[in-house]
């Protein structure tokens, strides 16, 4: 990374941004010697809230803060940015159909994709968080044709880390080895960031007594592994909302930070490197694992130094393969809706 990295965060007055800003400004993503030129973009009704966030950033006196700008002007926000975190979107309201949600967000992603095309650095890395994240990413990518599709991703790291956390808790409960999520690696989230996602622990390992070991014997609970774990991860977001009356923000911000750190950052991670992988939604190029071309799909990826590659050749169980069909079908339907909205 350059000495100063230019970063735009859309939805800058929202709750994930509020938890993400310290990660950005304390060197946890781009390293302890990279200054940050931060732009926070939001819409008119959030203008005052945005001002308050800027006051708090100023009051935090971050060592790495080169400058901060709060704006509702898309062109200003995206000017020469090297990293774009797209949190800004239209929330799903009660009674809203998926089609309506996609329609509202297609408009926003079109605007931000066009802004990337017109104003961003050509090598800008983009992570889309706003829901429906995979399809939003596809739309933003479409409107920024001169930025490589390889520079676009959607966030499934939160789901990935939810799976790691649950596995660590189970190993601790069943094997009498006290471990935490950092001791779990090689989980996979396949597909859409929605309840059709496919959490897959087949290749996961736990670090126990200094050795990476297969997860299943350590969990020692085949029923839980086969029947309960998948819905628990799929529904974790809803469980947080039920408990907090607000959606995940602390953990979502941490996931964005880890996603970016492992992809474009300079700090090391315990989850990438030699033979290890994490989950990221990226463009399906070349029919990997039989997934249709051109979907933004969550895969196991190895990422570092600004590059990210789909890890090929993992075995897929019959059960996981059946679940993959549903998430592929949902993404194809979302893509069709987005395409017809764009064409209208």
d(C-alpha 175, C-alpha 19), whole Å: 34
- 131 labelled ligand-binding: yes
- 261 labelled ligand-binding: no
What is the smallest separation between the CB atom of 302 and ligand NAX, expressed in angstroms?
20
Segment interacting with ligand NAX, rule: CB under 6 A, options 84-92, 199-207, 291-299, 306-314: 84-92
Which residues in the 175-194 window bind ligand NAX by CB under 6 A?
A: 193
Segment interacting with ligand NAX, rule: CB under 6 A, options 215-223, 245-253, 271-279, 328-336: 245-253
Q: Does 195 bind ligand NAX (CB under 6 A)?
A: no
How many residues lie near ligand NAX (CB under 6 A)?
28
Q: Which of 159, 172, 253, 260 is nearest to 200 (CA)?
A: 159
Counts for the chain of helices (H) and strands (E), in that order: 12, 14
**Calculated CA dihedral for residues 139, 86, 89, 269, nearest 10 degrees:** 110
Q: Does 41 bind ligand NAX (CB under 6 A)?
A: yes
- Which run of H or of E encompasses 172? helix 157-175
- 42 labelled ligand-binding: yes
CA distances from 198 to 80, 132, 172, 324 (A): 36, 16, 24, 7
Among residues 193, 203, 259, 319, which one is catalytic? 193
Active site residue 193: yes
Angle between helices 318-343 and 98-119 (to 10 degrees): 70
Among 13, 198, 295, 310, binds ligand NAX (CB under 6 A): 13
- 136 labelled ligand-binding: no
Q: Decide if 102 contacts 65 (C-beta within 8 A).
A: no
Joined together, the tokens standing for residue 281 give: 């939604």
Among 4, 169, 249, 316, binds ligand NAX (CB under 6 A): 249
Among 43, 96, 214, 238, binds ligand NAX (CB under 6 A): 43
End-to-end CA distance of the chain: 41
What is the smallest separation between the CB atom of 2 and ligand NAX, expressed in angstroms?
25
Q: Does 113 bind ligand NAX (CB under 6 A)?
A: no
What are the phi and psi torsion angles at 111 (to 5°)?
-60, -45
- 105 labelled ligand-binding: yes
Which residues in the 253-312 window bind ligand NAX by CB under 6 A?
A: none
Q: Does 114 bind ligand NAX (CB under 6 A)?
A: no
Question: What is the SS3 assignment for 229?
Answer: helix
Enumerate residues 6+ apart whose C-beta is below 8 A from 227: none
- Which run of H or of E encompasses 209? none
Binding-site residues for NAD(+), please? 42, 105, 129-131
The residues annotated as belonging to the active site are 193
Name the residues that contact ligand NAX, by CB under 6 A: 10-11, 13-17, 41-43, 46, 87-91, 108, 129-131, 133, 155, 158, 193, 247-249, 252
């Amino acid at each position: 990374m350059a000495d100063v990295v230019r970063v735009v965060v859309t939805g800058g007055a929202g709750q994930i941004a509020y938890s993400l800003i310290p990660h950005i400004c304390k060197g946890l993503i781009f390293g302890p010697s990279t200054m940050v030129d931060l732009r926070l973009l939001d819409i008119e009704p959030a203008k005052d809230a945005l001002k308050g966030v800027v006051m708090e950033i100023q009051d935090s006196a971050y060592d790495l803060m080169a400058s901060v700008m709060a704006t509702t002007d898309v062109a200003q926000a995206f000017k020469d940015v090297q990293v774009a975190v797209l949190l800004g979107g239209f929330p799903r309201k009660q009674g809203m159909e998926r089609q309506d949600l996609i329609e509202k967000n297609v408009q926003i992603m079109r605007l931000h994709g066009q802004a990337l095309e017109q104003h961003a650095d050509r090598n800008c890395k983009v992570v889309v968080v706003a829901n429906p994240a995979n399809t939003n990413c596809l739309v933003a990518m479409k409107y920024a044709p001169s930025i490589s599709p390889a520079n676009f991703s959607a966030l499934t790291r939160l789901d990935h880390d939810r799976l790691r956390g649950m596995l660590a808790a189970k190993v601790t409960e069943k094997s009498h080895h006290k471990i935490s999520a950092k001791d779990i690696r090689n989980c996979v989230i396949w597909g859409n960031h929605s309840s059709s996602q496919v959490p897959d622990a087949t290749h996961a390992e736990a670090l126990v007594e200094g050795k990476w070991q297969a997860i299943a014997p350590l969990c020692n609970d085949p029923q839980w592994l086969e029947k309960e774990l998948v819905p628990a991860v799929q529904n974790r977001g809803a469980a947080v909302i039920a408990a907090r009356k607000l959606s995940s923000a602390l953990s979502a911000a941490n996931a964005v930070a880890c996603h970016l750190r492992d992809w474009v950052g300079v700090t090391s991670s315990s989850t990438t490197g030699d033979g290890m992988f994490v989950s990221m939604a990226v463009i399906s190029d070349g029919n990997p694992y039989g997934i249709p071309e051109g979907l933004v799909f969550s895969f196991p990826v190895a990422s570092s130094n600004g590059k990210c590659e789909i890890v090929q050749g993992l075995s897929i169980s019959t059960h996981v393969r059946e679940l993959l069909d549903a998430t592929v079908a949902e993404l194809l339907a979302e893509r069709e809706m987005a395409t017809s909205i764009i064409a209208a």
